[in-house]
Amino acid sequence: MVPTPSPPNAATIDDMPRNVLFVAYPDVSLLDLAGPQTVFWAASNYARARGMAGYRCHTTSLSGSPIATVEGTTMQTVALETFDARSIDTVVVPGSPNILQVARDSASLIAWLDNVAGKVRRVASVCSGAFLLAHAGLLNGKRATTHWAMFDPFRQLFPGVDLDPDAIFVQQQNLWTSAGVTTGIDLALAMVEADYGHEVALSSAKELAVYMKRPGAQPQLSEILITQSRQVPVFEALHQWIVQNLSAETLSVEQLADRVGMSPRNFARVYKQKTGRTPAKGVEHFRLEAARRLLQEPDRPVDLIARECGFGGEERMRAAFQRRFGLSPSEYRLKVNR
């Protein structure tokens, strides 16, 4: 870890540390808990160095006994009943790959969540932890997200929840939900930014060597990851090059074929065979992903985004958005920034 500056005299810190409770249970996912907990730890160092209180993290459980994670690590915990709800700032509920069984065995924990939600400043879930919040009735009528692999059972169990299949995290009033596993880090960084500002959040991201601080509505699965999962390593370097050169309005089949040392005709045939898309559609998907990310910046003009992503003009980008999402870029921006 990069060393952080020594904090100033304690007398300059303006309030008490915020208590953040991480709720553990048998078969909890370790990274769901440890990822955001490390963010709050790093943020505390930077916040205190700036005269702010930071956080005090607690690993808790109903019983206060040692808890074994699904990976096999055993954690010491503190009983939830130890804490007066009025002293709790944030409750974080990690997920588990066995969440459906966990939910069936967790009536007391679900009841605790239902009782505490209205008394603390915010409640958050990581990954499939959203199932526990939903079982407690906290997500009814609200937009939320969870791990992409759990969308179908979540929809079946909780039809009253507006499940967002795209977002990596969602905030609705004092309820925050995040997608799969490492998105708990993104969620925690967003909370830190809300509490202590952009500089502390960015410093924390750098401390963790996070590649980028992602906004909430960024897709859970990037186009790069999707294409990699289709077992097309021959095109991985090409896809990276496309992403780095999206501002070029024309990325022709001839250009792309030249990058991989193939004839245009053979390249077009092999690319479609390996990825399920024509080269033109592949480029458009990368342009759309970049545009979606930039549209989360509310002050960035739509026509500028269109040029930066290589659409050339706003009308061409609008047509691509309508085909893919059934929304215009402006409508998409309103949806993700609401």
In the chain, the domains with their CATH numbers are: 10-207 (3.40.50.880), 223-336 (1.10.10.60)
* Residue 177 three-state SS: strand
Q: What percent of the chain has pLDDT over 90?
A: 59
What are the b/e assignments for 124-144, b being 16+ CB within 10 Å? bbbbbbbbbbbbbebbeebbb
Please state, as a whole number, how many other Cβ atoms lie within 10 Å of the Cβ of residue 52: 21
Express each pLDDT in 147-166 by its tens digit. Answer: 988 999 999 999 999 998 87
Task: Fill in the DSSP letter of residue 328.
Answer: -
**Full-model pTM:** 0.66
Inter-CA distances, 307 with 54, 197, 301, 314, 317, Å = 41, 30, 10, 8, 9
Q: How many whole angstroms separate alpha carbon 220 and alpha carbon 216? A: 9
Residues facing 75 on adjacent strands: 67
Residue among 302, 279, 280 nearest 291 (CA): 302
Residue 167 has pLDDT above 50, yes or no: yes
- DSSP designation for 128: G
- Side-chain half-sphere CA neighbours of 100 within 13 A: 9
Nearest by Cα to 43 from 240, 190, 244, 238: 190
Structure tokens at 185: 């880090």
Comparing C-alpha atoms, which of 170, 83, 162 is closest to residue 126?
170
What average pLDDT does this structure show over 99-120? Answer: 96
pLDDT tens across 285-310, in order? Answer: 889 888 888 887 788 899 999 999 99
CA 58/CA 222 separation, integer angstroms: 33
The candidate with the shortest Cα–Cα distance to 274, out of 255, 254, 260, is 260
Question: What local confidence, expressed as pLDDT, does residue 243 receive?
Answer: 85
> Can you tell me the distance from the alpha carbon of 36 to that of 14, in angstroms, rounded to the nearest whole number?
24
pLDDT tens digit sequence for 242-273: 888 988 988 999 999 999 899 999 999 998 88
Q: What pLDDT, on the 0 to 100 scale, is given for residue 209?
A: 72
User: What kind and span of H or E run contains 150?
Assistant: none
- Predicted local confidence at residue 222, as pLDDT: 46
Which DSSP helix (H) or strand (E) runs through 172?
strand 169-172
| Predicted local distance difference test score (pLDDT) of residue 41 | 95
Is the pLDDT assigned to residue 116 strictly greater than 90?
Answer: yes
